[in-house]
Structure 1
């Protein structure tokens, strides 16, 4: 997909109603593509690890570059994003002392950080590169939610 197609997808999600219930999963591990108060969409997916560490690093860099190119277009629209570390969100959710709302709790389990904008209308847009673990696919995800980041 192109950046223009990604922007059109994000625009569509910004104007759509949120699903009343959690949807079907992305391969069982990512949680639903949406739920009460949020949409999650996979914009791009890698083919998985293709061998040694060098190619894996290159693939990670490629996905970060794709995220940055899309983020620049969103920044042109909505201003500078906030950077949000999801490592702390993941740790807080694991400790169990605090209830982290979806979609943030699930994102923290497979996304290290996200760029977050608040375009208006009470919604947030987050963009990040997701990966479940070593040797797993990279995914460029966009999130549209009315749920404030933790």
Structure 2
């Protein structure tokens, strides 16, 4: 993954107006109040052996951390935000504001920054294997506060 290119994508999403309606794209999509970007979604590892899946997960986490270092230089240390409780709440039928409900179903935790200049949250996470979607590094830019 090209870190400079990923930063440029995040910058663009911080400046761009949000879409008027939800669009499906990979694990989380985009919609009113949020944009997403994904890296690695073209690499479907569902049929790969455990060692290859683990190697891919390790690489996505390394890419997340490298990108996170650049974002930390801009906005300070991230908050670590676990999303498993959001998944549990959604399973119990609670309606969660997007993109948090979608993220909770696919990403176990995120690194989270607040850009006061843009008035937006930036979250980075790695999707878990759920049998239906390949692993990927996910960035979300939103003006919806975390629950």
Q: Is the 8 A contact 1:48 1:135 kept in 2?
A: no
TM-score with structure 1 setting the length: 0.88
Structure 2: 5+ residue stretches without partners:
none
TM-score with structure 2 setting the length: 0.90
Look up the match of 1:92. Answer: 89
The SS at the match of 1:101 is coil
Higher strand share: 1
Structure 1: 5+ residue stretches without partners:
none
Look up the match of 1:103. Answer: 99
Offset at 1:109? 0.6
Offset at 1:132? 4.7
Alignment of 1:23-62 (within 5 A): 23=23, 25-26=24-25, 30-31=27-28, 33-45=29-41, 46-49=43-46, 51-62=48-59
Alpha-carbon spacing, 1:106–1:135, altered in 2? closer, same or farther (3 Å): closer
The SS at the match of 1:117 is strand
